[in-house]
Amino acid sequence: MGKIAFVFAGQGAQSVGMGKDVYDAVPEAREVFTKADAVSPETSAQCFEADAAELMQTKNTQPCVYTVDLAMAAALEAEGIHADMAAGYSLGELAALTYAGAMTIEEGTRVVAERGRLMQIASEAHETGMAAVLKLQDDKVEEICAKYPDLYPVNYNSDGQVSVAGDKEQLQQMADDVKAERGLAKILDVSGAFHSPYMNQAAEDFATFLADAEIGTVNIPVYSNRTALPYEGDYKQLLVEQIINPVYWKKLVRNMIDEGVDTFIELGPGKALTSMITRISKDVKMYRVSDMETLQKTVEGVKNNG
């Protein structure tokens, strides 16, 4: 067996009631929620009880998804399965850094809560959103976006999937251009134009906040959305730049495969990363952990293939 990579879900993966069955069944996962609640007291209640509208608010989404991501990792670790390297999609990158020892869960929750608060403020300043463009090559999406002053290709997810952020009205107009090129544009369940210049103020304020944050180094490689390479140098600067720059997920995953990863495990709500990675490579094994059922299937699959 080659190397195992844990990949942590990001914003947009949230779902009502997420994490509850694992919280109830696995003490190690429950401890993650307890530590998060010590910093952000509403987190567990929002994960388990909030409706979709409340969960969609960025200030709530980010600490909730971060906590569920790490709770799933704790449940998997309790079964004796560990990662050789890690990555996270956007917000999930902070969960990856925490898993790899750069932050405590408490400090990570504090950082993520502030990140979510600042990004929500930035989102509310403009009528913006995001759309996934499917079935077109990256350069074609870039060409279409270049026609619009306030649209930006921001998430390079897999072959034939790029997310675009920007002005809501222009996103709707872009959808017609995408359709004319025989592609499909799907509006995403997020509340702002993330990873674009619309987040400049959030990034600036986040940099100020991070000056006093306790962020150390990682004990396994964590791949950066910004560079698609393992974290090195100024971690805080990479986290700030990530907010306003594209996520190079496709390149990141390919780099991990080149370093020997043949098994990816998605941790957290949803299965978006599983879908992306399956499209990036047909040669890797893909598992996910979002609840007790998928936890059990993943443990069985990994141990049988180990």
β-pair partners for 186: 132
Instruction: Determine the number of helices (DSSP H) and then strands (DSSP E) in the chain.
Output: 14, 9
Q: Which helix (H) or strand (E) holds 184?
A: strand 184-187
β-pair partners for 152: 165
Q: How many C-alpha atoms does 255 have within 13 Å on its Cβ side?
A: 18
Q: Which of 182, 195, 105 is nearest to 153 (CA)?
A: 195
Please say if 196 is a catalytic residue: no
SS3 225: coil
Active-site residue, from 123, 195, 196, 290: 195
- Torsion sign over Cα 75, 76, 81, 83: negative
Q: Which helix (H) or strand (E) holds 147?
A: none
Q: Which of 169, 164, 159 is nearest to 141 (CA)?
A: 164
β-pair partners for 155: 163, 247
Torsion region of 266: left, alpha or beta (phi above 0 gives left; psi -120 to 50 gives alpha): beta
Please say if 90 is a catalytic residue: yes
Which one-letter amino acid corresponds to residue 121? I
Active-site residue, from 44, 90, 224, 290: 90
Structure token digits, residue 131: 């759309």
**Helix boundaries (H) for 79-180:** 92-99, 105-124, 138-145, 168-180
Please enumerate in sequence order all residues whose Cβ is within 8 A of that of 250, keeping only pairs 6 or more positions apart, or say none.
156, 157, 158, 159, 276, 280
The answer to whether the CB of 302 falls within 8 A of the CB of 82 is no
According to DSSP, the β-strands at 151-158 and 161-167 are: antiparallel
Residues with active-site annotation: 90, 195
